[in-house]
Amino acid sequence: MEYNPREIEQKWKSWWEQNQVYKVSNESSKPKYYVLDMFPYPSGSGLHVGHPLGYIGSDIFARYKRMSGFNVLHPMGYDAFGLPAEQYAIQTGVHPAQATAINIARYREQLDKIGFSFDWSREVQTCDPKYYKWTQWIFLQLFNHWYDNSIAKARPIEELVAIFEEKGTGNIQAASSEPLAFSAAQWQGMSPKEKDDALMNYRIAYRKTTYVWWCEDLGTVLANDEVKDGVSERGGHPVERKPMLQWSLRITAYADRLLSDLDTVDFSDSMKKMQSNWIGKSQGAQMFFELDNGAGQLEIFTTRPDTIFGATFMVVAPEHDLVKQITTPDQAQAIADYLAYVNTRSERDRMSETKEVSGAFTGAYALNPFNGEKIPIWIAEYVLKDYGTGAIMAVPADDERDMRFAKKFNLPIVEIIDKSMYPGATIEDKQGKMINSDFLNGMEVMDAIEAVLQRIESMGIGHRKINFKLRDAIYSRQRYWGEPFPIAYDENGVAHALPENELPLELPVLEDFKPASGAKSPLARAEDWVNFKPGWRRETDTMPGFAGSSWYFLRYMDSDNDQAFASQKAINYWQDVDLYVGGTEHAVGHLMYSRFWHKFLYDKGLVPTKEPYKKLMNQGMIQGVIENIYLQKEKVNGKSKFVCAKIAEQKNLDDYVKIPVLVDYIADYGLQDSHLDLEGMRNFIAWRPEYADAIFECGSGTFENSTFNPSGDVGNLKFQTVSEVGKMSKSKYNVINPDDVVEKYGADCFRMYEMFLGPIEQAKPWDTKGISGVSSFLRKLWGLFYSESGKFLVNEDEPTKEELKVLHTCIKKISEDIERFSFNTCVSGFMICVNELRTLNCSKRVILDELVRLVGPFAPFTAEELWHQLGHETSVCEADFPKVNESYLVQDTIAYPVSINGKKRDLVELPAGMSKEELEKAALELDKVQKWLEGQAVKKVIVVPGRMINIVV
């Protein structure tokens, strides 16, 4: 029988399906293990070879765990709401639901070809009303809770109302948008709308006017992490700051827990660092400066209260509420001009010139609370409205930005820290002795911070405060293709939660998906839906992409449940995700949000663990190779002219532009010598007919009008292209579809090759030049079972000691390497094993039976076929993973490297049981050693039994 991957794959794919081999039960006596992949957004371009990398790794691990006695949950689904489908709908009129369904079907087909052990009966799609009913339900829980800082826990909003009824805001410690204070009587006297506004200040899901990233081209608001480098992450459209009434989630209430619980999870250090940077905790003081005209106070936040005597000016954010109040008539024009300037600047402008300082003087002064000195108040872009209090005391001597500002505007600089005894200490380091600082003089910085904090608190002009960089998550999107908010507003504009029995609130049917006028969601056009009862109107914004993905891992536990997002029984059985595999691009966004939701659900007692993901594995991106040819900028006789990379490099590259070529046409793709051959050239011209009459010049001749004119005796056209590594994307014409690879080499080969490329967490460019090695490995494996003439070779002979050693060496390596996610070395371990068994001519059942089980997680189709050839009736995934028997690995002799002064000089085979002394003696007697020693005195001999011998002279 010949090895025919295509046939085998067809056969076992349907067999697995019929026998529901991958269906997982929530009832099991086995210990549970949950392996989760970050679910994909089903884009229109389908999967490329980069996507499955992580899926293959997690699939191997899931299969391995399953064979090792665990009940393994390994599901898959789709993050199916999102902008691209909607943009597509605007362009083509195809309803997003329809486009999404088509894309999902395509993804499914592609995934199925690769042989994953997903339990598809648990599939989730975030755009399915049966799913988003529960996204809406969790949102309502967030809406109906507030966060009590005194017990660090979310509590029902009714309890807050009860507190207000009884004693007003009193001394509650609630996470809030702004500090509020009212008595019970005041509360009782409030109108419904006023009460609603007051409660909004505390709800975890709340509505507030905030400065948001508005993206005009997309017609929607974006979250912080959806904006990169001043443009939208998707599509690269410009964004601007704009105040808008938006739903937000009070993730800041959980900032401290999100930070400290990082210690309890097994994420990479870099991942933890990214998260903690994003949370950005800093300790300092919040303090008040009186304004010199007695008109009030300026509140600032600083981590360096010790530097207060060096504060020669104050800076407030241009959007700060106080700006209008304090600006003096003299300065009104200057401030107005500056504010106008700030408004014209896009985020991109601001970012591109971060070192440029700009600002304006308000004319007002604050007073230093310790010595009463007048400090001018400025406004400047570099102080941000949303961080701290939106105002700082500027200490030019001890802060680089303040220094630049002071220099530009000629403001005084007062040295306050003597760093002379700390050479090399930078301006930011908290080292040195205080000078020019009144009662702090002579103190070390750290002591001064403490001393001044105590003074500030005793004087009642401020208090210690912890600040976070993390900001509340903007939760509104002015889009159609997302979860509708289960919220409606009454005549007074008071927000009401929809009753649970009205969930899900489904998206209305629409035909026009363009944003409605006034920066409103297209949903505003569905008037019947919006004005569903007299005087009331529904919220027309929809939820962002991270809504559905923040809790999907819980839904897989019990995906059909229509009574709860998942039953408590299922949740208590599966608990949390043991292994989560995905890309680093979700480091801050998705991971932060889902950890936050999980903590909220934990507060509610709905999930048993504080963290959703125990261990996180980040797979590296598979990059594409972009292949370009050089087009000369100047035309020749009106014709376009291309030259090959070699010629262009010899001339001036500035005279050429790079034109990307569809990689399918390239010969020796990804190699140094990648080029277009005659056929590739013809394909290129057919693909880009505008270049049909162009001239192509390269070392081997010229190509024009579909004809190759060789120069000299070089027979073939070889038009060198220039390769660069970059993202795999449609626009770069370098997308490699896994289907094509599977078609050519088989799914098992594709799986093993992706693993063989290198460590899974490392980024690497895709190239297929090594794939033939993996392909021939699979054939060799097959060859242990069937001879070339098709004879079944498996026999019942007793295995030899050597054969057992080969097998168990492999078992040991594979088990150890799977545990540390080193899948690339697993593949080489298999190759060694199969090569050695072939050399030994071993086709013994006892050996092969274990080998097939070992290969099962990596090459499930081939393993399944061979497993059945061995006479088994059930699936190989239900078999036990082989266990190493160390006794087969014991060696009779050991090859000892003998070194002199650490340099290897000889290699000697010695019996395994020799003692240190015997080994030393044997080593010293070696001819080569004698020759090297040449009478020199041996100072020391180091013997590590089983490893090496080193002689020191």
Site for RNA in 868-907 (CB under 7 A): 895, 897, 899, 901-902, 904-905, 907
Within 826-933, strands assigned E span 893-900, 903-911
What is the C-alpha separation between 646 and 662, in angstroms, rounded?
20
Nearer to RNA, 77 or 582 (CB): 582
Nearer to RNA, 178 or 634 (CB): 178
Interface segment toward RNA; rule CB under 7 A; list 16-24, 572-580, 653-661, 823-831 = 823-831
CB of 840 to RNA, least distance (A): 11
Cα separation of 359 and 357, whole Å?
A: 7
Residue 34 near residue 581, CB atoms below 8 Å? no
> By CB under 7 A, what part of segment 85-144 binds RNA?
none
Residue closer to RNA (CB basis): 617 or 757: 757
Q: Closest CB to RNA among 73 and 908?
A: 908
Q: Which residues are bridge partners to 247 per DSSP?
A: 207
From 469, 646, 744, 805, residue interacting with RNA (rule: CB under 7 A): 469
State in angstroms the smallest separation of the CB of 436 from RNA.
Answer: 18
The least CB distance from residue 771 to RNA, in Å, is 8
| Spatial CA neighbour of 394 closest among 385, 406, 386 | 406
Residue with tokens 């000078």, as numbered in its chain: 435
Query: Which stretch in 31-39, 279-287, 458-466, 849-857 sits in contact with RNA by CB under 7 A?
Result: 279-287
Query: What are the Cα distances from residue 366, in Å, to 315, 361, 382, 409, 703?
Result: 11, 13, 19, 18, 77
Type of residue at 517:
S
Query: Is the CB of 262 or the CB of 274 nearer to RNA?
Result: 274
Choices 191-199, 265-273, 789-797, 912-920; region in contact with RNA by CB under 7 A: 265-273
d(CA 585, CA 138): 25
Count CB neighbours of 708 within 10 A.
18
Separation CA 785–CA 529 (nearest Å): 66
Residue selected from 238, 280, 363, 508 as contacting RNA according to rule CB under 7 A: 280
Site for RNA in 205-264 (CB under 7 A): 224-225, 228
Shorter beta-carbon distance to RNA: residue 27 or 178 = 178
Q: What is the DSSP string of 914-942?
A: --HHHHHHHHHT-HHHHHHHTTPPP-EEE
Closer CB to RNA, 94 or 271, in the complex: 271
Asked whether position 940 contacts RNA by CB under 7 A, the answer is yes
Q: Does 351 bind RNA (CB under 7 A)?
A: yes
Piece of 516-524, 652-660, 825-833, 863-871 that binds RNA (CB under 7 A): 825-833
Two tokens, residue 441: 């003089």
Backbone angles phi, psi at 784, to 5 degrees: -75, -20
Closest listed residue to residue 272, CA positions, set 578, 622, 613: 613
The piece of 64-72, 80-88, 299-307, 879-887 that touches RNA (CB under 7 A) is 299-307
| Helix or strand (DSSP H, E) at 564 | none
CB of 725 to RNA, least distance (A): 8
- Backbone phi and psi for residue 255, each to the nearest 5 degrees, phi listed first: -55, -50
Residue 357 engages RNA in binding (rule: CB under 7 A)? yes
Residue 309: left (phi > 0), alpha (psi -120 to 50), or beta? alpha
Contacting RNA (CB under 7 A), which of 769, 883, 916, 921? 769
Pick out residues in 646-685 that bind RNA (CB under 7 A): 672
CB of 931 to RNA, least distance (A): 8
Q: Is residue 912 close enough to count as binding RNA by CB under 7 A?
A: no
* SS3 call for 222: strand
Which CA distances in Å does 490 have to 196, 209, 538, 539, 912? 11, 19, 9, 11, 86
Q: Which of 11, 153, 779, 805 binds RNA (CB under 7 A)?
A: 779
Minimum CB distance to RNA smaller for 528 or for 934:
934
- In whole angstroms, the minimum distance from the beta carbon of 61 to RNA comes to 17
Q: Does 436 bind RNA (CB under 7 A)?
A: no
The counts of H helices and E strands in the chain are 31, 38
Based on the shown chain and the rule CB under 7 A, indicate whether residue 627 belongs to the binding site for RNA.
Answer: no
Residues 561-620, interacting with RNA (CB under 7 A): 584-585, 587-588
Q: Where are the alpha helices (DSSP H) in 581-630?
A: 589-603
Cβ proximity to RNA, 76 vs 383, nearer residue: 383
Out of 58, 125, 248, 302, the residue judged to bind RNA by CB under 7 A: 302
Strand-pairing partners, residue 391, are 316
**301 touches RNA by CB under 7 A:** yes
545 is a site residue for RNA (CB under 7 A): no
Provide the Cα torsion 148, 152, 153, 157; round to 10°: 10
Residue 757 sits in the site that holds RNA (CB under 7 A)? yes
* Binding range to RNA, per CB under 7 A, among 30-38, 252-260, 268-276, 842-850: 268-276
Q: Is 839 in the site for RNA (CB under 7 A)?
A: yes
Nearer to RNA, 176 or 584 (CB): 584
Of 46 and 726, nearer to RNA (C-beta) is 726
- Of the residues 505, 774, 778, 852, which one makes contact with RNA according to CB under 7 A: 774
Q: Give me 744's structure tokens.
A: 């050519």
Question: CB of residue 663 vs RNA: minimum separation in angstroms?
Answer: 17
**Nearest distance from C-beta of residue 19 to RNA, angstroms:** 34
Distance, CA of 100 to CA of 89 (rounded, Å):
10
Closest-CA residue to 702 (of 661, 658, 643, 637): 643
Kindly provide the b/e burial profile for residues 426-464, where b requires at least 16 CB atoms within 10 angstroms of the residue's own CB: eeeeeebbbbebeebeebebeebbebbbebbeeeebbee
Q: How many residues bind RNA (CB under 7 A)?
A: 83
Is 952 one of the binding residues for RNA (CB under 7 A)? yes
CA distance 868 to 861: 11
- The token duo for 138 is 């969790």
Site for RNA in 374-413 (CB under 7 A): 381-384, 387-390, 392, 399, 401
Find tokens 């505003």 and name the residue: 524
> Taking the complex as a whole, how short is the minimal distance between the CB of residue 205 and RNA, in angstroms?
23
Task: Work out whether 270 is an interface residue with RNA (CB under 7 A).
Answer: yes
Buried b / exposed e across 231-255, counting CB within 10 Å, b at 16+? bbbbeeeebbbeebebbbbbbbbbb
- Picking from 867, 720, 57, 197, the residue whose alpha carbon sits closest to that of residue 489 is 197
| Of 493 and 758, CB closest to RNA | 758
Query: Token pair for residue 361?
Result: 């003087």
Min dist CB 162 to RNA, Å, is 35
Query: In this complex, which beta carbon is closest to RNA, that of residue 59 or of residue 225?
Result: 225
Q: Considering beta carbons, is residue 607 or 826 the nearer one to RNA?
A: 826
Between strands 231-232 and 622-632, the pairing is unpaired
